[in-house]
Structure 1
């Protein structure tokens, strides 16, 4: 178990912790209508989105660099099985992906930086993690980011945490990890010797067997004194 003292670095999950996204199905439907004049309907858009997400989750580790990511995205578009040319489906898919940072993300990262604490994102994501952090304005507030597709290791495996610790320049006992998934984030951090903080944005946090939970990233700052 990691030490309970003030950390020198905090590792953070991306999706569900720092970033979220708008529901893609309505945007996919609108994009296809604008490009083809054909409305696939709400059910059609939802089905296409589910198929794309399932394919992506099974293959995200293949998006190791920009070229490989482009190929993966085209295969994701094909997996939607839409009655349009692949280029149209691809363009509509890309238009439907709209990520944004939670309102508390940037202020929390600034607060941690002001206190001299290094921050590194650790995420089960493809190479586009860096794009998302840049476009949402968070990249400039971080000391680095590690995507599972880049390092060939996904949480809860320890190798991805080790890669993040190297970027942060600290030992496991000097770091915390904040994430929203008990298995990937909490269990993975514990196995790596890092103190886990579970963020539960939609429910009231509770203390379970010594596990600290928070509702927002703003609650990290007060924790530093504990």
Structure 2
């Protein structure tokens, strides 16, 4: 094992209570009172739109356009008075409501992986501001590089994003593993690119048996802190991408959590 690709949101970064932040920002900036339920509904629509289009935000102009369109979606989903807020102001309110922070286990885990001599590259469905977020949250200094779907022009449903990450890491798929929190995007996407994948299930809620034909993770972990030990256990025998129908046995030493959480 020579390299590790890492998802960003849900793996390295968490989005800090955006509904509370949005309700407070709307009150402070515009005198608009909404409930957190209304905030979550509007944010859910905005995030869905963002996920579908973030790979197109490949330069500052396209990013600015995407953010404007996301603000439009938000305005359409909020109570009627939100439609009276100038769009540029609502966009500002939205952006300051989206606060990212690294999970507490991230820094020690990444330091441990670096000390083991592994190349670390962030691979994420994100716009070109990914690099800014990684710098602002202190993650950029702990990894060897990062690549977003916007830079490649394709999200994790395409092998191209993973291949770009492997090129940055300077390793082939047989010498690397991808770690992420989505069965479809991270496990399925990595598998399509010839990579073994580790699923991080921080809440213990992933339904691994939902689709018996879907590619299975090589291992499941509940914290990034489990990853260095799991990779040490794989030394000399890196996992193959697991076929559908069940996770691979990640290690004879029992590191990580193969299969469903708690198994």
TM-score by length of 1: 0.90
Q: Is 1:53 aligned to 2:47, yes or no?
A: yes
User: Which of these residues, 206, 217, 220, is aligned with residue 213 of structure 1?
Assistant: 220
Per-residue CA deviation, residues 120-168 of structure 1 (Å, 9 max, x unaligned), is 0111111111111111100011111111111012113211111111100
Cα 1:43–1:197 change in 2 (3 A) is closer
Greater CA drift, 199-208 or 155-164: 199-208
Cα 1:64–1:204 change in 2 (3 A) is closer
Equivalent position of 1:10 in the other structure: 4
Whether the 8 Å contact between 1:165 and 1:172 is mirrored in structure 2 is: yes
Which structure carries more relative contact order (alpha carbon 8 Å, separation 6+)? 1
Q: Is 1:225 aligned to 2:239, yes or no?
A: no
Q: CA RMSD in A?
A: 2.1
Whether the 8 Å contact between 1:32 and 1:88 is mirrored in structure 2 is: no
Look up the SS of the partner of 1:38 in the other structure.
Answer: coil
C-alpha displacement at 1:199, in angstroms? Answer: 0.9
Q: Is 1:132 aligned to 2:126, yes or no?
A: no
Whether the 8 Å contact between 2:5 and 2:123 is mirrored in structure 1 is: yes
Cα 1:173–1:80 change in 2 (3 A) is same
Where does 1:80-95 land on structure 2 (aligned, <5 Å)? 80-81=74-75, 82-83=82-83, 84-95=85-96
Cα 1:88–1:204 change in 2 (3 A) is closer
Whether the 8 Å contact between 1:14 and 1:121 is mirrored in structure 2 is: yes
Greater CA drift, 171-180 or 192-201: 192-201
Distance 2:60 2:193 in 1: 30
Equivalent position of 1:191 in the other structure: 192
Where does 1:19-168 land on structure 2 (aligned, <5 Å)? 19-81=13-75, 82-83=82-83, 84-168=85-169
What residue ranges of structure 1 are gaps of 5+ in the alignment? 1-6
Distance 1:43 1:206 in 2: 26
The count of residues paired between Structure 1 and Structure 2 equals 220
Distance 1:223 1:46 in 2: 36
What residue ranges of structure 2 are gaps of 5+ in the alignment? 76-81, 210-215, 234-263
Cα 1:224–1:50 change in 2 (3 A) is closer
